[in-house]
Structure 1
Amino acid sequence: MNMSVSEHDHGEVREPKPSFIKGLLFLFVLLIVVAGLAIFVLTQRSSEGPLIISEDPTPLSVDVMTASLQQSLDLDEKFTGLVAAKRTSELGFSAGGRIARMNADVGDRVVTGQSLATLDTRGLRSQLNSAEAQIAEAVANHALAMSTVERQNALLAKGHVAQQRVDEAVAQATTARARIDAARAQADTLRVQIDLSSITAPYAGVITRRNFDEGAIASPGAPVFELVESSALEARIGLPSSLAAELVVGDTYELLGDRGPVAATLRSVTGIIDSSQRTVTTVFDILDSDAVSTGAVVRLEMQRSVSELGLWVPVSALSEGQRGLWSLYIAKQEEGAWRARPGLVEVIQSEGERAYVRGAVSDGDRIIIDGLQRITPGQAIHPKLAPTATTANEG
């Protein structure tokens, strides 16, 4: 039994171990991998050195326009003004009294001389009747006095009366004549008061305000109606002094109203600069009063040239920068490749989809006009002239 066990143990110790063979196989595989890497590196080499594996990404295709600077900027500016009536009057009674009739209301169009309102004139007419009676009495007394003078002159010629009696008769006749004149003056005064008890339109126009109704007591001078002249309108427009000097008094210009063009003749240029607006007031006479209404806004278009070196670019070519400036991208060729480089500009004037700018732009620069959100400074690009780029810079 002991011998069989020891023989079994002796057989297990003598079996060969595989660790050495595995090590040789691992070393062999490692050598093959290293050799493969070496061969790959050697095959990738060129005469100028190792090949650069990482390359720039594919250039981004962008639309560009060619910059063409201009020396000045022609601005089409619009200046606004208000249409107003040449004459506006507040009408009232010169003397107070009770209003008997109101013949017009707000919105009525009236003609020259039309009666608008009257006071109760019964008291005045009664006084006028009394004055006319006094005139008749004075006339009768004057006639009697003149007859007395004739008789006294006849008696004086016969020597029946003294000269004093003649003189007294003449004095009485003169007094009677003065009473006639006084009575007539009183009657004329009453007639004037009766006339002033009626409001009549001094010119053709439109009633824009009515402050009283029948039966009300109007105090002297209180405005009863506001009358605005409708047949003669004018427009007052403030202009810079340089532009106002270009206008010619008497010439006809076209103003723009809400209902279309309005022809107007320049009546005057004040020549005085408004301290708050820094403008000169110009006054235009509206030729057709039916083409525009009182209070309407009208505009005068004029072109002004500003000496400012710059160019027009599409708004899509601009992105907001800092401190009130804007930035755009210029396509620049560097070492045979096109790259996007930013430049700061200032917006001088904007009109719809375009803007006039000045700044870091030179003649001939290729300005990227769209897709700025995809571009970063120094990015590789492929510029192509946009079909509309030829008209983008027209002023």
Structure 2
Amino acid sequence: MPLTGCGNQNADIQAEPSLQTVAVKTLNQTDFYAHKQFFSGNIRAANTTGVGFELSGKIKQLYVDSGDKVSAKQPLAQLDVSILLAQQQEVDASLLQNQADIDLARSTLNRSLELTNQGYISEQTLDEVKGQLNSLLARKKQLQASLSAINLNLEKSTLLAPFEGSVAERHQNLGGVVQLGSPVFTLIQSNTPQAFIGVPVEVARSFSTDQQVSVKVGKQTYTARIRGISGQLNPVTRTQEVRIALPKNAAVINGELAYLDYQQQIQQTGYWVPIAALTEGMRGLWNIYVIKPQEHAFIVQRRDVEIIYTDRDKAYIQGAISDKEQFVSQGLHKLVSGQLVNPQEHGHND
């Protein structure tokens, strides 16, 4: 009796294919994009001044040094004034002698007037006595002027800070002889930080005095105001210099780099998408993958687009795409055109 084998029964049920899940976003059309540009310059105090004595002499005292903070009218240095003091004493003595001579001349004049009235002294003699007194009075004014000049030089022998600030550099040493006008210190004024930034002519024309702008220094961004725009081009950079006042409490250093954040609206229709949603295409174009419904699934379609502008991880694009279409926002390396996928909304595309 033949044996009958017990074979497995073939299933007629075909398994449904597993569709790949992709993250998608929606395209939102806009009429313009903000074109961001950064222009560089540097920080300068309103006043950076080399201060020195208004007369020559030997430095007797230095009261401050590099890095010190100073207030307005604070003494910074002192010249040796021993010669001036000796001259002052000499003029004082001359004034005392002159005053004694004036007193004597006045007494002589009074007696001469009495004798003239009595007919004992001629008019010529009287005129000579008056001339002597006038000469002594003129000499007194001359001595007083000399004394005022000496006192003024004594005042100028103390170097005072012209404004509140800090000492950037000391140029002279104790005991050194300085010439008229030679700088002893370089001072940087406090609480007046300004940024000087060169911009193209067309950008400068869009600015106005007192306009509020954004300036970045280091890691800090400040809201500042334009105080002036140069009326001439820099012959090297072909830019106009814009002077921008930062807040008084801005923590900046003289010479530090500053960047002007300039934004301009460009009227051009397009779409913002993540750069990760684009792949390089042909002839300078780029590709984006959109999805379209097809029966019970969605099919991937490749579209050619052009990048108009980029901002960090975003791109502003135009091309064969439409408003409110959905596009694949990431994971493009796993996809091919015509592939069926299962879309999953992945946030909003601004």
Task: Give the TM interval when normalised to the shorter protein.
Answer: 0.7 to 0.9
Partner of 2:59: 99
Give 1:284 shift: 2.0
> Identity, % of aligned pairs?
26
2:19 and 2:341 in contact (8 A); partners too: no
Give 1:380 shift: 2.2
SS in 1 for 2:105: helix
Partner of 2:9: none
Give 1:168 shift: 0.7
* C-alpha spacing 1:366/1:89, structure 2 compared with 1 (3 Å): same
How many aligned positions are there? 328
* C-alpha spacing 1:203/1:126, structure 2 compared with 1 (3 Å): same
* C-alpha spacing 1:280/1:333, structure 2 compared with 1 (3 Å): farther
1:288 aligns to 2:249 (yes or no): yes
- Per-residue displacement from partner, 1:129-161 (whole Å, max 9, x unpaired)? 112212222222222222221111111111111
Counterparts of 2:63 and 2:300, CA distance in 1: 83
1:62 and 1:381 in contact (8 A); partners too: no
1:343 aligns to 2:304 (yes or no): yes
* C-alpha spacing 1:324/1:103, structure 2 compared with 1 (3 Å): farther
Partner of 1:314: 274
Q: Which one-letter code corresponds to 1:91 in the other structure? A: V
Counterparts of 1:193 and 1:65, CA distance in 2: 80
Give 1:226 shift: 0.9
Counterparts of 1:326 and 1:237, CA distance in 2: 36
Counterparts of 2:230 and 2:167, CA distance in 1: 34
SS in 2 for 1:244: coil
Q: Which one-letter code corresponds to 2:137 in the other structure? A: R
Larger Cα-atom Rg: 1
SS in 2 for 1:72: strand
1:381 aligns to 2:339 (yes or no): yes
Counterparts of 2:318 and 2:290, CA distance in 1: 14
Counterparts of 1:274 and 1:297, CA distance in 2: 21
Counterparts of 1:285 and 1:154, CA distance in 2: 79
Aligned-residue Cα RMSD (Å) equals 3.5
Q: Which one-letter code corresponds to 1:388 in the other structure? A: H
RCO higher in structure (CA 8 A, sep ≥6): 2
Partner of 2:11: none
* C-alpha spacing 1:204/1:329, structure 2 compared with 1 (3 Å): same
Give 1:79 shift: 6.1
* C-alpha spacing 1:281/1:211, structure 2 compared with 1 (3 Å): same
1:270 aligns to 2:270 (yes or no): no
Q: Which structure has the highest strand share of the two?
A: 2
2:305 and 2:317 in contact (8 A); partners too: no
SS in 2 for 1:99: strand
Counterparts of 1:325 and 1:152, CA distance in 2: 116
**Unpaired segments ≥5 residues, structure 2:** 1-16
TM (norm. structure 1) is 0.71
| 327-336 or 176-185, larger mean C-alpha shift | 327-336
| 379-388 or 204-213, larger mean C-alpha shift | 379-388
Partner of 1:126: 86
Partner of 2:315: 355
Q: Which structure has the highest helix share of the two?
A: 1
Counterparts of 2:291 and 2:194, CA distance in 1: 55
1:73 and 1:305 in contact (8 A); partners too: yes
2:329 is aligned, of 345, 366, 369, to 369
1:166 aligns to 2:166 (yes or no): no
* C-alpha spacing 1:280/1:216, structure 2 compared with 1 (3 Å): closer
> Within 5 Å, which residues of 2 pair with 1:144-223?
144-223=104-183
